[in-house]
Structure 1
Amino acid sequence: MEKKNIVLLICTILNFIAVFASNAVNIIIPTVAAEFHMSNIVQNWITIIFFLVMAMLSIPAGQISGKYGLKKVTIMSSALFIIISIVNVFVTSSEQFLLCRLVLGLILAFINVTSMAMVVSAFDPQERGKALGLNITGVYVGLSLSPFLGGVLNYQLGWRSVILFAVPLLIIIIALLLRIDDEWITFEGIPIDIKGSVAYAIGIALFIYGFTILNETLGVILTVVGIMILIVFAMIELRQEHPVFDIKFLKNRVFLSANLASLCAYLATFAVTTILNYHLQYIKGFDSQTAGIILLVAPVCQVILAPIAGRLADRHVPQILAAIGMGLGTISLVLFSTLSFETSLEFVIVSMIIYGVGFGLFSPPNTSVIMGSVPPKDTSIASASVSTVRTVGQAMSMGILTLIFAFVMGNVAIVPDVYPLLISSCQITCIICVGLCLASVFASFVGIKSNA
């Protein structure tokens, strides 16, 4: 097998692991919440804290990985992930569980950046769309198998088996990487932008955390302070000779529009899996194994569409494909906003198919636009941008759901008495996300004009 294909295989498996680490945990949240006596707000933080710290580190991870070597950073991150996963199975409280999720999120921030950057570095530009399409297939395979495998493992062996699932795969990844000679250092001799990295991490952390408690005065204050610090971060970057993130990239309208489209897409869609999981397990009363099987529907569609969309992006205007994809996503969210006690399983499945096809059409072309809009030397920064936008969108998508929970339900355990409020909260969230989907469509069309 050619070296570039080995790299593609490694990075595709890493994408699968990254998605599994976040999405398989979603299916076990009711079980973990029951064991550690978590409220509805706290159990949502199992997901939020994971993506919050990934968002904090995604931008610095791009520069750090480029300076010290993509392969070296991936090996170290994989080894640490194995260690923390093993520690995670011995926790005895909700605080310990959340701390492990926090550390795993920090580690995956680097894996997300290096996996995509290695693919871009290993393949020529004319093959990049196809390679990224196959690479993103790992994401969709992870999305497909995560609910199913997570549900089955949780039902048969308990939630700790889900946490340990990635360990043997990462051992194989480390073994394969040690056989590759290339290191892919793109920032050799360039100092780390510590000021910019710290300002970004603090700003994004305060902004996202404040957003999740926006119903409180403290939340408003933290959100505003976070925005102010991010403005300071931008000012710092404009003065840096070697910024952790080159603000001048935002003058590239193709790069900017594709990132905005991605941000809106993840804001709109990520909470959907949690909403469907809650609907199936709480409202419909399915066990985690059955719910996991049902949740296969949308990701399977994404797996089928991702490589096709990647190849089409090499031959056609990718922004058009992305806009069509998010148009279908809008339709699916309109349908999800009607979920209730009476909703049939057939209706849920059809809606999930539309959702899966839509997002499968969107992601590979949009990612190809972002990665292809910067010079080759900046691929690790572009990769960091893709990862950051994704994780910020995912964290804030869960933040929207948590915020709606706080307004509608309060901080309570999810028990049958509050199921009507759970349904209302999910419906309101989906209606908000419809608007975000439409914004993603608009951003994709702006990108077409910018490309002209």
Structure 2
Amino acid sequence: MKTTETRKWWALGALAASGLVIGLDVTVLNVALPSLATELPATTSELQWIANSYNLVFAAMLLPAGLLGDRFGRKSLLLAALALFATASLACAYASSAEWLIGARALLGLGAAFVVPLCMAVLPVLFTPQERGRAIGLWVTANAVGLPLGPIIGGWLLDHYWWGSVFLINIPVIAVALAAVLLLVPQSRSSQRRRLDLVGMLVSGVALASLTWGAIALGERGIGGTPAAAIGVGLAMLALFVAWERQVGRRPAIRPLVDLGLFRSASFAWATVLATLVTFALLGALFALPQYFQAVLDADALGTGLRLLPLIGGVLLGARLGARLAPRLGAKAPVATGFLVLAAGLFAGTATGAGTGYGFVAGWLTAVGLGMGLVLPIATDVALGTLSAEGSGAGSALIQALRQVGGTIGVAILGSVLNSVYRDRLDLSGLPAPAADAVRDSAPAGVLVARQLDAPELLEMVRRAFVDAMDAMLWVCGGVALLGAVLAVAFLPRQTEPATAAPVGRPGPKAGESGQVTVG
């Protein structure tokens, strides 16, 4: 018994390492983009696709990945996904052209789309309800810490090695994870042997990919034209998907891709919404802060990453505090408190000026991390707590898909706010057209132009304009965090509801029970 107990916690360590690498890979590329532009070389459009091909495939494949894991075995597909992730990392590291790197990043997104929900799906199978909160807290924290850790590790690697090293760091971690999953994680799958929902997979993939691409394009090009059309197509396909899933749910021969009955659970529905809102707020901060550190504080890639350390410290502290509070107080109070702390940190950030010292920024960054660390692990635990071991893969994928698309749309909206305010604050009359266009593109480009022209007044204007824009964006993020606190108080149940079956209306084993689990 003691050996089994030890094995599952070691298995959790492997899963947490996998989550850390996935989180890190989302942001580590940001600091490498300037190097890719010159060394591959890559155009601005190609750089956008290098970043976005990962996000598109990741979003489109999350839901099918969870269902396939339930059907064919979560351990087997997790091993295959980790192997694909490692192979794609090698392909990225040694890409000789932008086109090659775009394709390799798409494969990386495919591997990540299976790794994330399957890691989460294994947790309700491995751990009892009493242990699950701690286990999920550790996994979610590792994934969340990977986001701000990416620029730190990427910056250090770029200072010492070539750009491909930002992908090679995945290999040793994935190798350890592969061995640990193979030896320590039990095989588990759904006992339901019904046909797969192939139509649902196709429609959901198109819907999520369209919404994600449209949101990305919205942030880059503004409202109207192609972005609006893509979002419209995504919404239409999403409505079609919901209608189809309702029909499939009534057919005993087909396993629906999404159990719409989950949304009848207040715990699942509201915990998933709250996890999405906190992701929205965090990604907004991570979108603006690297630009602030580089354009206003003159930090290099490594210095930018190091300045995010208070955020990581806050996340770790918040997660540890939440793990102690949730068993005593239930979910509602810690989650609502976490959102209030997050909102306070973001609102404090709106007082940041062009001449503000880093100490003030580190203070509100710590508060942001603390709030996120309180909210995200507990909200994820509440949502997963409503899932049975039978349908944990599909349910986990649904949670991640909503967070992914919500976060992407959030960054697009916040990016539009940032760009709009930044450009409104600029007065570029008298500046040559090419230089003016470059300044409007971004604050880092504006700083570069000002230095090339030896124009201190332009440099000061660019920095003030960006800080004003960042402050406006933080007001929006803070408002979202306040909304999260209100929703948590109003709708989040104090105690998690009991696990439900993955197929609508059918009973299934609860988390921590068998659900066709084999050790090995």
2:396 to 383, 394, 398: 383
Look up the SS of the partner of 1:178 in the other structure: helix
- Farther off after superposition, 337-346 or 278-287: 337-346
Look up the SS of the partner of 1:179 in the other structure: helix
1:51 to 52, 55, 66: 55
User: What displacement does 1:404 show?
Assistant: 3.9
Paired residues of 1:258 and 1:447 also in contact (CA < 8 A): no
What does residue 257 of structure 1 align with?
A: 270
User: What displacement does 1:430 show?
Assistant: 2.2
Deviations 1:242-281 (A, max 9, x none): 2100112112122111111111211122131231111112
Q: 1:304 to 1:143 in 2, by over 3 A?
A: farther
Q: 1:141 to 1:225 in 2, by over 3 A?
A: closer
1:412 and 2:441 are equivalent in the alignment: yes
1:316 and 2:329 are equivalent in the alignment: yes
- Farther off after superposition, 288-297 or 415-424: 415-424
Paired residues of 1:68 and 1:188 also in contact (CA < 8 A): no
The number of residues matched between the two structures is 451
In 1: Cα distance, 2:352 partner to 2:331 partner:
33
User: What displacement does 1:37 show?
Assistant: 5.5
In 1: Cα distance, 2:99 partner to 2:295 partner:
24
| Unpaired segments ≥5 residues, structure 2 | 424-436, 450-461, 497-520
| Structure with max Cα Rg | 2
What does residue 68 of structure 1 align with?
A: 72
In 2: Cα distance, 1:268 partner to 1:261 partner:
11
- Farther off after superposition, 364-373 or 386-395: 386-395
Paired residues of 2:213 and 2:230 also in contact (CA < 8 A): yes
Look up the SS of the partner of 1:322 in the other structure: helix
Paired residues of 2:258 and 2:395 also in contact (CA < 8 A): no
Paired residues of 1:27 and 1:150 also in contact (CA < 8 A): yes
What does residue 447 of structure 1 align with?
A: 491
What does residue 505 of structure 2 align with?
A: none
Look up the SS of the partner of 1:137 in the other structure: helix
Deviations 1:359-402 (A, max 9, x none): 01111111111011233322222211222122223322332244
Paired residues of 1:51 and 1:394 also in contact (CA < 8 A): no
Q: 1:31 to 1:427 in 2, by over 3 A?
A: farther
2:112 to 108, 114, 122: 108
**Bigger helix share:** 1
In 2: Cα distance, 1:446 partner to 1:13 partner:
35
User: What displacement does 1:123 show?
Assistant: 0.5
1:270 and 2:283 are equivalent in the alignment: yes
Paired residues of 1:147 and 1:296 also in contact (CA < 8 A): no
1:192 to 196, 208, 212: 196
In 1: Cα distance, 2:318 partner to 2:102 partner:
34
Look up the SS of the partner of 2:318 in the other structure: helix
What does residue 21 of structure 1 align with?
A: 25
1:99 partner amino acid:
G
In 2: Cα distance, 1:31 partner to 1:336 partner:
30
1:230 partner amino acid:
L
Summarize the alignment of residues 24-35 of structure 1 with structure 2, pairs less than 5 Å apart.
Answer: 24-33=28-37, 35=39
User: What displacement does 1:218 show?
Assistant: 2.2
TM-score by length of 1: 0.91
User: What displacement does 1:232 show?
Assistant: 0.6
In 2: Cα distance, 1:337 partner to 1:72 partner:
48
In 2: Cα distance, 1:235 partner to 1:302 partner:
39
What does residue 366 of structure 2 align with?
A: 353
User: What displacement does 1:298 show?
Assistant: 0.6
What does residue 476 of structure 2 align with?
A: 432
In 2: Cα distance, 1:261 partner to 1:193 partner:
28
In 1: Cα distance, 2:136 partner to 2:150 partner:
21
2:441 partner amino acid:
V
Q: 1:446 to 1:142 in 2, by over 3 A?
A: same
1:123 and 2:127 are equivalent in the alignment: yes
Percentage of pairs with the same residue: 23
